[in-house]
Homo-oligomer: A and B are copies of this chain.
Amino acid sequence: MQRRIEVCLTPALLNLYTIDSSIVVVIDVLRATSSIVYGINNGAEAIIPVANVEDCLTYADQGFLLAAERNGEVVEGYDFGNSPFSYTKEKVGGKTVVLTTTNGTKALHMASTTAHQVVIGSFLNLKSLCNWLKVQDKDVLLLCAGWKDNFNLEDTLFAGAVVAELRKDFTHFDDSCVAAEDLYQLAKDDLRAYLHKSSHSHRLAALNIEEDVKFCLQLDICEAIPVLQGDSLVLLKTT
């Protein structure tokens, strides 16, 4: 079977890819897609990604939890933001969460208009996600949410981790696959230390989320693969 895997390094490049018969994996590991994976894994009924804070408000009267973050901080008056520690069983089990984030939901919305299927990736569900991708008869696009449309290291490293897992099962790789995989091989023994040498450390240090970062860089603590159904991210039934 001839299958293609590609890495789109930022949403600003998404229009260069043909994805109508591909599975798109949206990646925003610090922190949106990690929190989504953790929340769905912890029994959230659904997580609804919305493009901006105003859209979030339209859900205010429906008994949903409202999560809004802008530039890494919880928006005043909302239940919580992007920290994975807000997505525990106690807080989100059986609930629907409406979520807006700086980069992740933008990437999700862009992909959803044309992709065959959109799923959510993070280090937390790496193995589970890759095992599932291996047995689908589909090309795969790994879509890094990046930082305000620009390249970022953390999402690229995760894309590289997926490429490393899937290399034997796919036949076509683009240049960004090669770059992402090699960077991951270089960084994998200590992802945090690697990220600390990047501009990322300036970006995120300012937000005081070191505990979140540590959490989001854990491998394979979740089995859940969130999948986009209509407007909502829900648990993908894999069996």
Residues of A within 8 A of B (CB): 9-10, 12-13, 16, 147-153, 156, 172-176, 178-179, 182-183, 186, 197-200
Contacts and interface: CB of A to CB of B under 8 A. Distances in A.
A59 to B, nearest CB: 31
A179 B175 CA distance: 13
A175 B149 contact: no
23 contacts: A10-B13, A12-B13, A12-B16, A13-B13, A13-B151, A16-B148, A16-B149, A150-B175, A150-B176, A151-B175, A151-B179, A153-B175, A153-B178, A153-B179, A156-B175, A175-B198, A175-B199, A175-B200, A179-B183, A182-B183, A182-B186, A183-B183, A186-B186
A182 B184 CA distance: 11
Given A12-B13, A13-B151, A156-B179, 4 more contacts: A9-B9, A13-B13, A150-B174, A173-B199
A12 B17 CA distance: 13
Taking the full assembly, how many copies of this chain does it contain? 2
Contacts of A175: 147, 150-153, 156, 198-200
A182 B157 CA distance: 13
A35 B72 CA distance: 45
A173 B150 CA distance: 14
Contacts of A178: 153, 197-199
Nearest to A186: B182
A150 B13 contact: yes
Contact of A16 (B150, B173, B174, B176): B150
A172 B174 CA distance: 29
Contact of A151 (B9, B149, B153, B198): B9
A148 B183 CA distance: 23
A36 B197 CA distance: 35
Contacts of A183: 179, 182-183
